[in-house]
Amino acid sequence: MSIAISRRPVARTAVSLCIALYGIGTANAQTFSAVAPTPLQLKPAVDQAFAQMMASSAVTRLLDAVKADHERTIEDLKLLTEIEAPPFKEQKRAEAFLARMKALGLSDARIDTEGNVVGLRKGNGNGPKLLISAHLDTVFPAGTDVKVKQEGNKYSAPGISDDTRALTVLLSWLKVLNDNKVQTVGDLLFVGNTGEEELGNLRGIKRIFADHLDIDGMVGLEPAPDGTVLVLGTGSHRYEVTFKGPGGHSYGAFGQVPSAIHGMGRAIAKISEIQTPSVPKTTFTVGTVGGGTSVNTIAPDARMAVDIRSDAMAPLLETEKKVLAAIDEAVVEENKRWGVNTLGVSTRLIGDRPGGRTSPDQMIVEAATRANTAFGLKTVLAGASTDANVPMSLGIPAIIMGGGGKTGGFHALSEWIDLTDGWKGAQISLVTVLGLVGVQGVSEPLLVKRAPRTR
Amino acid sequence: MSIAISRRPVARTAVSLCIALYGIGTANAQTFSAVAPTPLQLKPAVDQAFAQMMASSAVTRLLDAVKADHERTIEDLKLLTEIEAPPFKEQKRAEAFLARMKALGLSDARIDTEGNVVGLRKGNGNGPKLLISAHLDTVFPAGTDVKVKQEGNKYSAPGISDDTRALTVLLSWLKVLNDNKVQTVGDLLFVGNTGEEELGNLRGIKRIFADHLDIDGMVGLEPAPDGTVLVLGTGSHRYEVTFKGPGGHSYGAFGQVPSAIHGMGRAIAKISEIQTPSVPKTTFTVGTVGGGTSVNTIAPDARMAVDIRSDAMAPLLETEKKVLAAIDEAVVEENKRWGVNTLGVSTRLIGDRPGGRTSPDQMIVEAATRANTAFGLKTVLAGASTDANVPMSLGIPAIIMGGGGKTGGFHALSEWIDLTDGWKGAQISLVTVLGLVGVQGVSEPLLVKRAPRTR
């Protein structure tokens, strides 16, 4: 997960704090800033469903079972955390997660072509299908020491909170639903997915949505404080751009050859003038540059990395189009300057995350808000780049919630989770999920069944 | 010395060859391409002086003495080469050279404030003052193995030809002039100077011309084949430019902070459109760039190295002015783009070599041409960046000649000199020098006495 930033000016200080926390892996717990106001008035159906659930002995028993299962989830957490899962190397952890899923009753669970662990817990028939997911991968390379260290209720290890805790919550839900024979109305698609982090570019969850055209919503679990609901998924496209020319002596070859650096400079100058909307917030930057051989050589090569982000897909693609056009125009101009055709450019997409947002008036957001209220928590609607970006970009209702515990130090070797009352987050997110798919004999599904997408 | 490049299209292949030879330190001997036609018709005074000298038994004796002294110069060559003289660390070699100069009769020789070894051999009174020089410094850092290796007449060691051979030729001239009691009409200012290479930026020879306002001409010695006369000194100014801003998250800080990379890109785009004259050839390039923190960070820093060269000072300075203006404008524009004032830039002059040329119709060029003819050699008028750039930029007649031997591999650890018939180059350049200052009882000085410059 990477944290998105509030668009509200008032939140600027908090934003900086978030980035700092995120970047340096401090011992302070992570927090999120609001990116949208929390809905105050909920739809009657939402209130009704949650009133019914919270009054139901079946649901109460189930939530008690989540708490009772808490200590056992910590054993799963140690087991899974200590199986390293670097980007593109999630297989071993996937196999362990699959084995646990099968043991807990999803006998037809399997690993798909992108390495995702996928198991369907069927509803009673005509309900919606909700994807519930956590990601298998961590940002840490192979060989990182992933041994879990414990100090009281605080557990430390790379990847332990982002996102291994969430994997164990999925397993716990599966166990308590089965132990308590809870029959949901809608289907629950349990997924431990690959490729959420960095260059994984959400490949796992993209595969899920490509293979399962009938998903009606998604609740993903990530390290987020109780009460936090992520509704904004900032999309990003990133490019590595390489300019290549013949190069030559700065004096001897002058006038005869183009400069890769001059070509790149022309491109950057054009990019720096691109206009983007502030809502949906859309941004761009040339983040890094390098190139050239020596001060007195007309540069034969230059390269830059470009980052384009947006809260919506249309302006992301529009801005990307402008960036790519600027690069092409720059090369034409630099060649024209010297009457040659020897400067070339290649662009490589190195980051590809779609973006979007789930409107606060969507049932899925109201359900999470109502679940928080039921547990005495205020809801903060926040943003980040997560697996939920994919359904958001497709217009499918999606949110990310926490799985319990206080967390910090993501993407740092000092990553930790404090599991004091950690069962609470697992209860809140579970009751949100149950509200969305409905519990047979207790409540109707809140999630709207959609017409299946077509390929 | 760094080799300049012919401006004549026909020489393009040869040019590339020169650069290649220069760059990779191959075993092939170095050659130069012509940058101007060799004068065909010489002034009568030139012919007369050389006819008189070549017919004079005093001069003949002197030239024989140069040949006879050849083996001894090789001992000086080994001695001086094996005293390392890295840029800005020429002192130890300077002291050894000073000691030799004093031993050979310039008892008032001394080391000046820039580390140059300076000794004056006076003429008989009212003649011109000719600077004859070779540089003490090499490009090689302290600790380089400078042990001389010999294979027949070929001697190899870093710095042995560029420019240690020339130092030994100056010493040999001093010895034979004194041994043979030759009285010149004009004064000979013997100089072993510092700071010719790279970041030395000609500091030694700049000091010489600042301290000695009455110098009327200069003959410098560098590794160049017999017959080669350097008349073009391409000037260069080099800048290191650093852009600095606050930086920030590519999404979170977008719109609030300028980008150091965008500012630099704007500058490069402007620089790439600068127009320069083709005669005097004037060039520019942004040779290297670097900057940024990560793809998703608005760059807090960016830096570039700019090379500006010209065969004449006026267009060099004009182009420099345009480059610096482009940089300033770019910073203003990038700040304006975001309504801030937080992007700054600093420029540092890292290379400062004045430029100019000595016209082929100058007495000093005709004298060298006539000397070559006297030895049966064709003259090639070539260019390079050498100590002679300084007098050329001041309008003082200056040339560079070879000191004898075939050479190659400059600035490479494989640098070598083949001293077969190496005495010949020392004879040709000495007779050029004598023609310029005149020999009492033999010839009148060809070099014109100038009004002393003022500070």
* Interval B150-192: pLDDT, tens: 999 999 999 999 999 999 999 999 999 999 999 999 999 999 9
CA distance B210 to A316: 62
Contact B392, B312 (CB under 8 A): no
Which of the four pLDDT bands, split at 50, 70 and 90, describes residue A13? very low
DSSP for B103-166, please give it: HTT-TT-EE-TTS-EEEEE--SSSS-EEEEEEE---SPPTT-----EEETTEEE-TTIIIIIHH
Which of the four pLDDT bands, split at 50, 70 and 90, describes residue A54? very high
Contact A405, A422 (CB under 8 A): yes
CB contact under 8 A, A269 and B273: no
* Residue range A255-259: mean pLDDT, rounded: 96
Q: What are phi and psi of A395, to 5 degrees?
A: 80, 15
- Say whether residue B144 is in contact with chain A using an 8 A CB cutoff: no
- Say whether residue B4 is in contact with chain A using an 8 A CB cutoff: yes
**pLDDT score of A455:** 80
B chain contacts of residue A307, beta-carbon cutoff 8 Å: 250, 295-296
Contact B284, B271 (CB under 8 A): yes
Residue B338 or residue B32, greater confidence: B338
CA distance A358 to A380: 14
Whether residue A317 is predicted with pLDDT greater than 60 in this model: the reply is yes
CA distance B115 to B168: 18
Alpha-carbon dihedral B317, B319, B325, B327, rounded to 10 degrees: -120
Å from A109 to nearest chain B CA? 37
Query: For residue B347, what is the enclosing H or E element?
Result: strand B344-353
Chain center to CA of A325: 29
Whether residue A9 is predicted with pLDDT greater than 70 in this model: the reply is no
> Between the CA of residue B312 and those of A380, B21, B279, B355, what are the distances in Å?
68, 26, 9, 5
A356-410 per-position pLDDT tens digit: 999 999 999 999 999 999 999 999 999 989 999 999 999 999 999 999 999 988 7
Q: What are phi and psi of A446, to 5 degrees?
A: -85, -30
Q: What are phi and psi of B91, to 5 degrees?
A: -60, -45
Contact B387, B220 (CB under 8 A): yes
CA distance B162 to B200: 15
A-facing residues of B in 239-258 (CB < 8 A) are 249-252, 254-255
A-facing residues of B in 339-398 (CB < 8 A) are 350-351
- Say whether residue B265 is in contact with chain A using an 8 A CB cutoff: yes
Q: Which residues contact B114 (CB under 8 A, 6 or more apart)?
A: B193, B194, B195, B203, B204, B206, B207, B208
**pLDDT score of B2:** 67
Which of the four pLDDT bands, split at 50, 70 and 90, describes residue B29? confident
Q: What are phi and psi of A385, to 5 degrees?
A: -100, 110
- Beta bridge mates, A232: A357, A383
**ipTM of the complex in this document:** 0.81
Contact A118, A109 (CB under 8 A): yes
Nearest CA-CA partner of A426 in A63, A107, A29: A63
CA distance A165 to B14: 69
Which of the four pLDDT bands, split at 50, 70 and 90, describes residue B199? confident
- Beta bridge mates, B117: B111, B192
Query: For residue A283, what is the enclosing H or E element?
Result: strand A282-292
Which of the four pLDDT bands, split at 50, 70 and 90, describes residue A2? low
| SS3 assignment, position B32 | coil
Q: How many percent of chain A have pLDDT more than 90?
A: 86
The DSSP letter of residue B36 is B
Contact B179, B424 (CB under 8 A): no
- Say whether residue B283 is in contact with chain A using an 8 A CB cutoff: yes
DSSP for B162-218, please give it: IIIHHHHHHHHHHHHHHHTTPPBSSEEEEEEES--SGGGTTHHHHHHHHH-TT--EE
Whether residue B15 is predicted with pLDDT greater than 80 in this model: the reply is no
B307-323 per-position pLDDT tens digit: 999 999 999 999 999 99
Which of the four pLDDT bands, split at 50, 70 and 90, describes residue B9? very low
Chain center to CA of B90: 17
**pLDDT score of B32:** 82
**pLDDT score of B424:** 98
A318-327 per-position pLDDT tens digit: 999 999 999 9
A-facing residues of B in 286-305 (CB < 8 A) are 286-299, 302, 304-305
For chain A, the average pLDDT equals 92
Q: How many C-alpha atoms does B275 have within 13 Å on its Cβ side?
A: 0
- Say whether residue B51 is in contact with chain A using an 8 A CB cutoff: no
Whether residue B274 is predicted with pLDDT greater than 60 in this model: the reply is yes
* Residue range A140-150: mean pLDDT, rounded: 96
CB contact under 8 A, A265 and B262: no
Q: Could you tell me the sign of the dihedral formed by the alpha carbons of B193, B195, B197, B201, in that order?
A: negative
CB contact under 8 A, A252 and B337: no
Contact B55, B435 (CB under 8 A): no
CA distance A19 to B259: 19
Model-level pTM greater than 0.90? no
CA distance A307 to B258: 15
Contact B308, B283 (CB under 8 A): yes
Q: Which residues contact A297 (CB under 8 A, 6 or more apart)?
A: A247, A248, A249, A250, B285, B287
A chain contacts of residue B4, beta-carbon cutoff 8 Å: 251
Nearest CA-CA partner of A214 in A112, A127, A124: A127
Contact B209, B394 (CB under 8 A): yes
Nearest CA-CA partner of B427 in B403, B411, B408, B451: B403
Whose tokens are 């960036």? That residue is: A323
**pLDDT score of B26:** 37
What pairing do the DSSP bridges indicate for beta strands A129-135 and A217-221? parallel
What value does the CA radius of gyration of chain B take, rounded to a whole number of Å? 24
A14-46 per-position pLDDT tens digit: 222 222 233 333 356 777 888 889 988 999 999
CB contact under 8 A, B307 and A290: no
**pLDDT score of A8:** 34
A398-442 per-position pLDDT tens digit: 999 999 999 988 788 899 999 999 999 999 999 999 999 999 999
B chain contacts of residue A250, beta-carbon cutoff 8 Å: 283-285, 287, 307, 309
**pLDDT score of A147:** 98
B320-378 per-position pLDDT tens digit: 999 999 999 999 999 999 999 999 999 999 999 999 999 999 999 999 999 999 999 99
CA distance B409 to B416: 6
CB contact under 8 A, A293 and B288: yes
Write the residue in B238, B292, B334 that is nearest to A295 by C-beta: B238
Whether cis (ω within 30° of 0) applies to the bond prior to B280 is yes
Q: Which of B239, B242, B285, B357 to mutate to test the interface with A (most CBs of A within 10 A)?
A: B285
CA distance A319 to A239: 13
Å from A308 to nearest chain B CA? 8
For chain B, the average pLDDT equals 92
**pLDDT score of A287:** 96
Alpha helices in A25-90 (DSSP H): 44-55, 57-68, 70-81
Chain center to CA of B376: 26
Write the residue in A252, A272, A289 that is nearest to B291 by C-beta: A289
Whether residue A111 is predicted with pLDDT greater than 90 in this model: the reply is yes
Nearest CA-CA partner of A424 in A169, A174, A55, A187: A169
What pairing do the DSSP bridges indicate for beta strands A282-292 and A301-310? antiparallel
Contact B435, B374 (CB under 8 A): no
Contacts across the A-B interface (CB distance below 8 Å): 201
**pLDDT score of A331:** 98
Q: How many percent of chain B have pLDDT more than 90?
A: 86
Q: What residue of B is the nearest CA neighbor of A23?
A: B249
Which of the four pLDDT bands, split at 50, 70 and 90, describes residue A332? very high
* Residue range B19-43: mean pLDDT, rounded: 67
Chain center to CA of A160: 16
C-beta neighbour count of B289 within 10 angstroms: 27
CB contact under 8 A, B251 and A294: no
B chain contacts of residue A298, beta-carbon cutoff 8 Å: 285, 287
CA angle A19, A23, A25 (to 5 degrees): 120
CA distance A44 to A56: 18
Burial of A15 (0-12, 13-18, 19+ CB in 10 A): buried
Query: For residue B288, what is the enclosing H or E element?
Result: strand B282-292
Burial A1-13 (b: 16+ CB within 10 A, else e): bbbbbbbeeebee
What pairing do the DSSP bridges indicate for beta strands A228-233 and B110-111? unpaired
AA letter at A387? D
Contact B410, B356 (CB under 8 A): no
Nearest CA-CA partner of A162 in A430, A414, A396: A414
**pLDDT score of A3:** 60
